[in-house]
A and B are shown apart, each in its own frame.
Chain A
Amino acid sequence: MGLILDFYRPGRSWLHRLDPRVKLWGMVLGLLLAFLLPSTGAQALFFLAILLLLRGNGIPWNALHWLWRQIRFLCLLILFLQPFFTPSGETLVALGLLRLTLGGVNHALGLTLRVLTMSFLTGGLLFTTEQRQLVRAFVHLGVPYTWGLTLSLTLRFLPAISSLLGTVREAQAARGWVAEGNLFRRAREYLPVLVAVTIGTLRMGDQLTLALAARGLGTASKRTTWRDIAMRPADWRALVGVSVAFLAVMGLLR
């Protein structure tokens, strides 16, 4: 269990300072691109570019590694199962009805890269954007404050819940809890952990309600803002830059 309890990694890099609205826009375009890029090679290049962008903006390896650990199971699942469901092209190995094909492997690779790209794009936004800025971005885009707050609190508490899961598992392991055997058995063994985590999460939610109310959520008719976000010339340039780059790639693909 890592020690990460929040996605945000403090820093002063270009990506950190970029207006969160531009980052959101960049993320949307990036997600679109991940879907539209046709070849596995292009997907790989795009993923590499994202990795370089994050590393170049001071996101430490351990944060990227942590993100990988969260999605690796899904990635491996796709990588190893998907080829059998989408056979095409030359057959590499045949196991009875199952055929491992070149096209299938290629397809699975592309899909895995897509998942990776999408996760790391989202990570890029969350690792470099403070909760306050994210909420402000949503509010400026017309989302009501409470919705923006709810979203950012969810993001803030997801890692807390994952840390709770770690604590609970440790506590149960010390009482002889083990999750082994077949899938059904394991699912049953997991019950004590899931119950404790669910209770803990509900408790966390209750406490949060009280904390927000005690600090005056919704008391003023109009909430004020300390240090609002504002688009600087550099943000406008970045906005134009990513949009043009996106259109250029689209043009090349036609």
Chain B
Amino acid sequence: MKKAIRVEHLTFAYPPLIVGETPEPLFHELELNITAGEALTVVGRSGSGKSTLAHILAGLAPRYTGGELTGKVRIGEQDLVAEPPAPTAVGVLFQDAATQLFTSSAEDEVAWGLEAVGAAPAEIGPVVMNALRKFRLLGVNKRPPWALSGGQQKRLALASLWALRPRVWLLDEPLGGLDPIGRAEVLAALAQLRQEGATQLFTTARMERSSWGDAAALLTGSALTAPATWGSWRAQQARLVAAGLLCPAASWTRLEQSARTPDSALALEARNLCYAYPDGPAVLHGLDLRIPQGQFVALIGPNGAGKSTLIRHFNGLLRPTSGSLQIMGKKSRGLAVGELARQVGFLFQRPEQQLFATTVRKELAYGVRQLRLPDVEERVERSLVRFGLTDIADHPPAILSYGSQRAVTLAALAALETPILVLDEPTVGLDGRGWSQLLEWMAERRVIGTTLIVVTHEMSLAARADRVLAVRAGHIVADGLPDVVLAHFGKQA
């Protein structure tokens, strides 16, 4: 059989962060073979080098990233060490597809690559339209990429790669951060590519959901295991948990067992809450909501439904245009964001955009000091231990992997020990170990009566809540027990 990807004795290290240091190699003697037309999933923890592997196979690393590479890397017959592959040979979908789109309309995005490789102008138009049709984007062809939904952005990135007809596709966590509809859309597109005989390498940080492709290999300890079928991996739960690729069942159980009867006092009460962005349309249309202290509430709904707008009211980042909101019995209108921050801890998406301190320890202490809370050292220490950050407490957070940065933002939030926690998509990009830490922490907080409000696209998490709210087009369309709400809205959320 013809090999589409052949990697032999690959050793790779990024340039050292401190001049003169010898960096630890990310890969050591890594071997990888994929036959043409085959699909392989690489499962690796956050920070294990999945994106780097994709970048090496796309000829981007070390060419544009720096670093030392030894060994052989071939795509088909081409030696990538000597020469980068043409975009007509390899297509790479970035983990954050939004960062790979840079023009100002969907059709320009698809045309750009064709122009770059010198396609005849008369041929470009039909290919662009074909690609947009194939990935079901014809209706949004003039729309700027940043105005598309997460699923559409991934499909647009795929369309602009497909236009160049690569034989090898490198798909870096293609389902990350998508709502169930977006996930289904992207999976359908990938299935189509497989039918056309494309070779695919697919990466993921978690074992659970991702039974994609013919086989899977684990990226652990700077090398890849031999590929094995999904069935055989599922039989090795303990190994996967130990490798941090699967969230142990015990963590789920602890979250389930942490359920308690909520207090009669209210954590939050919204009455006829309306919100419209300045110069923009109305986003929330008269929401009524009462959340008792100690309740675990999951918010579900498609992207753009107004979930993020709603929860931004809970810590005062947004104030209702009309209607009222009370937090722990006080009107939110009169409270400054700083005062609210003592009551409401807020976890934002995109941890990489929030970190600034020179060490993880300082990052954790920042909020505690700003809010003038007591026992700074003890709180920081507890948080470091809780999220397994003790070893990297003196590292600068900006250079950590996504998963570790997520852990740092969670730990910084945990150190504030607020009675209400609002978590916006906390599971995005987490590996098995990250999931486990998150679930255990939520369980701990739930036991001591913390109110948990979690926006999520993960139905497995929403199913463990006391109550699920389905939000759509700025209205709460369902509010009740998880079984009931998820049966109706789980698939579209």
A-B complex is real = yes
Residues of A161-210 at the interface with B, using a CB-CB cut-off of 8 Å, are 164, 167-168, 170-178, 191-193, 195-196, 199-200, 203-204, 206-210
Binary B-proximity of A117-142 (CB < 8 A = 1, otherwise 0): 00000000000001110000000000
Q: Which residues of B contact A196 (CB under 8 A)?
A: 353-356
A216 in contact with B60 (CB, 8 Å)? no
Q: Can you identify 16 A-B contacts, CB atoms within 8 angstroms?
A: A2-B278, A6-B144, A65-B279, A132-B104, A160-B146, A173-B338, A175-B367, A192-B366, A209-B64, A210-B64, A211-B101, A214-B58, A218-B116, A219-B116, A226-B111, A226-B124
Q: How far is the CB of B407 from the nearest CB of chain A, in Å?
A: 16
Report A's interface with B, CB cutoff 8 A.
Answer: 2-3, 5-6, 8, 10, 61-62, 65-66, 130-132, 153, 156, 160, 164, 167-168, 170-178, 191-193, 195-196, 199-200, 203-204, 206-228
- Among B157-181, those with CB < 8 Å from A are 160, 164
Assess the B315–A210 pair: CB atoms within 8 A: no
Inter-subunit contact B108/A175 (CB<8 Å): no
Interface residues of B in 62-93 (CB under 8 A from A): 63-65, 84, 86-88, 91-92
Instruction: Report the Cα distance A214→B92, complex, angstroms.
Output: 7
Q: Are B118 and A224 in contact (CB-based, < 8 A)?
A: yes
**CA–CA, A195 and B108, complex, Å:** 33
Q: Are B121 and A214 touching (Cβ within 8 A)? A: no
Interface size on B (CB < 8 Å)? Answer: 71
- List the 7 closest A-B pairs by CB distance, nearest first: A220-B118, A176-B370, A175-B367, A62-B279, A216-B87, A195-B356, A226-B124
Cα–Cα, bound, A214→B366 (Å): 39
Tell me whether A224 and B60 are in contact (CB under 8 A): no
Distance in angstroms from B273 CB to nearest chain A CB is 19
| B100 at interface by CB-CB < 8 Å | yes
Which residues of A lie under 8 Å from residue B416 when comparing CB positions? 175
Contact of A211 with B94 at beta-carbon distance under 8 Å, contacts A167-B350, A174-B315, A175-B341 already known: yes
Q: Which residue of B lies closest to A202 (CB)?
A: B398
CB-CB under 8 A from A213, the residues of chain B are: 60, 63-64, 84
Q: Are A5 and B100 touching (Cβ within 8 A)? A: no
A167 contacts across to B, CB distance below 8 A:
348, 350, 353
Residues of B within 8 A of A192 (CB): 356-357, 366
Q: Is the CB of A62 within 8 A of B412?
A: no
The residue in chain B whose Cβ has the minimal distance to the Cβ of A215 is B113
- Which residue of B is nearest A2, CB measured? B279
Indicate if the CB atoms of A226 and B121 lie closer than 8 Å: yes
State whether A211 and B102 are in contact (beta carbons under 8 Å apart), knowing that A170-B348, A216-B86, A225-B121 are contacts in the complex. yes
Closest to A130 in B: B104
Does the CB pair A226–B353 fall under 8 Å? no
In angstroms, Cα B356 to Cα A164, docked, is 14
Chain B nearest Cβ from A65, distance in angstroms? 6
Once A204-B99, A216-B116 are accepted as A-B contacts, the answer to whether A173 and B356 lie under 8 Å apart by CB is: no
Q: A130-B105, A131-B108, A226-B111 are in contact. Are A216 and B63 (CB under 8 A)?
A: no
Is B477 in the interface zone, CB < 8 Å from A?
A: no
For residue B147, CB closer than 8 A to chain A, the reply is yes
**Given known A-B contacts A130-B108, A215-B112, A6 and B370 have beta carbons under 8 A apart:** no
User: Does B317 interact with chain A (Cβ within 8 Å)?
Assistant: yes
> Do A217 and B116 touch (CB < 8 A)?
yes
Interface contact B55-A6, CB-CB below 8 Å: no
Contacts of A228 in B (CB 8 A): 121
User: Could you tell me if A5 and B147 are in contact, using CB atoms closer than 8 angstroms?
Assistant: yes
- Interface 1/0s, chain B 300-333, versus A by CB < 8 A? 0000000000001001010000000000000000
